[in-house]
Structure 1
Amino acid sequence: MSKAGLTLQDIKIRRNGRTLVDVSGHINPGEVLTVMGPSGSGKSTLLAYIIGTLDSGFDAQGRVILNGTDITEHAPERRRVGILFQDELLFPHLSVGENLAFGLRATVKGRANRAKQIDAALDDIGLSGFANRDPETLSGGQKARVALMRMLLSDPKALLLDEPFSRLDTERRGLIRTLVFDQARAKGLPVLLVTHDHADASAANGPVHVLE
């Protein structure tokens, strides 16, 4: 029987003979594994390997297994792994609703059905009626919520967090962090968080792996 969740199997990443990443572990659905380390320690390098965008200049080995399927050789768009970055990366030329529509999978057919899902998604993150808003009119916390929901609408099977809370002020940081973790747990997503902030690791309430 295949094991649900995200497995990092003997992943080792080197550059110029120096080992940057050496990690193994399994993340259960709804669990958060935190990888900590200072800038340049290999945190984002590990995420790039998991989503399939690691630069060819790195020497990497190990397997990425998602819900029992080895996705190591899959193209990035086939991996069903979502990622949130420090920047929200919302499209400035699209409305909030159009940004969310970009995340919807092609299997969601029909304009009315897609609009219904977008409205439900906005309601889910406390932004009802924001579909026609310009992203530039949103606060940092509102942008973060839209970015989270756009990613979740793509129906990922695992979630990677590349320090997405680091640019928020203390109050909004706690709110958005709770929202992200609650959404991931509600959807049963295994989560890998990379951060240098101990408060993030504490809030994740899961195992911690430290990169030297």
Structure 2
Amino acid sequence: MLTLSNVSLTLNNEYLIKDFSAEISAGKVLAVMGPSGVGKSSLLAYVSGTLAPEIQGSGSVTLDHTELTQVATEQRRLGLLQQAPLLFPHLSVMENVLFAIPREVSKSLRREQAKAALASVGLEQHENKLPEQLSGGQQARLALIRTLSAKPQALLLDEPFSKLDKALRQDMRELVMKAVCTHQIPAILVTHDEDDARAMAFQTCYLSGASNT
């Protein structure tokens, strides 16, 4: 369970978000919608511990009874998918996935897990390529399995499908939902697309100014 309680964000002493609360169960997706500049991405940044210094945040974020606001960013075990895949351009497809797998896993098992992850999204024949040699859809799939290979306990999805065409968008929605259900992790999806919310979310919150519904 990922729980946000009375989360508020302010910029220049004005509220972006005020007293936002939500509960996201394992295997479920909460969609957060609203106009640009209302604080949707900043909400994810507060959860992940990467909030811009000019924005002040308050409120509780708990994941399985752990108060994340008291935990260092790199120890929060959250997976983040954004508009751009943010792959390491100098690393091969295989190396991008290997980089994400926890270091406590043995070298041989890490490679076995990486191969299985690539096969799960049809990239097993591309492991030696660089990211720039992949199509946009392939890069998106690689970004997803790299994120999942880090074994996150929750997913934060910041407009991850916005640069994909309609067919690829549907494929990626299905892949992400399959991952959320299979791994039984909660997820927050920030999107401008009503179709994303309808296809994925068990609940949708609409942000407008310093309010939410």
Quick check: TM above 0.5?
A: yes
Is there any run of 5+ residues in structure 1 with no aligned partner, and where? none
TM-score of the aligned structures, taking structure 1 as reference length: 0.95
1:67-106 alignment runs, 5 A limit: 67-106=64-103
1:157 corresponds in structure 2 to 153
Of residues 63, 86, 93, the one that matches 1:66 is 63
Aligned length: 207
1:119 corresponds in structure 2 to 115
* CA shift digits 1:120-142 (9 cap, x unpaired): 00111122222111211111111
RMSD over aligned CA atoms reads 0.9
2:54 maps to 1:57 = yes
Shift of 1:87: 0.1
2:40 corresponds in structure 1 to 43
Of residues 4, 7, 12, the one that matches 1:11 is 7
2:206 maps to 1:200 = no
Q: C-alpha distance in 2, partners of 1:64/1:175?
A: 31
Q: What is the letter of the counterpart of residue 29 of structure 2?
A: V
1:135 corresponds in structure 2 to 131
Q: C-alpha distance in 2, partners of 1:70/1:129?
A: 41
Of residues 136, 139, 144, the one that matches 2:140 is 144
Q: C-alpha distance in 1, partners of 2:37/2:154?
A: 24
Q: What is the letter of the counterpart of residue 132 of structure 1?
A: N
Shift of 1:56: 2.5
| Between 17-26 and 185-194, the greater mean CA deviation after superposition | 17-26
**Sequence identity, in percent?**
47
Q: What is the letter of the counterpart of residue 108 of structure 1?
A: V
2:176 corresponds in structure 1 to 180
Is there any run of 5+ residues in structure 2 with no aligned partner, and where? 209-213
Q: Relative to 1, partners in 2 of residues 1:37 and 1:68: Cα closer, same or farther, differing over 3 Å?
A: same
Q: C-alpha distance in 2, partners of 1:59/1:92?
A: 33
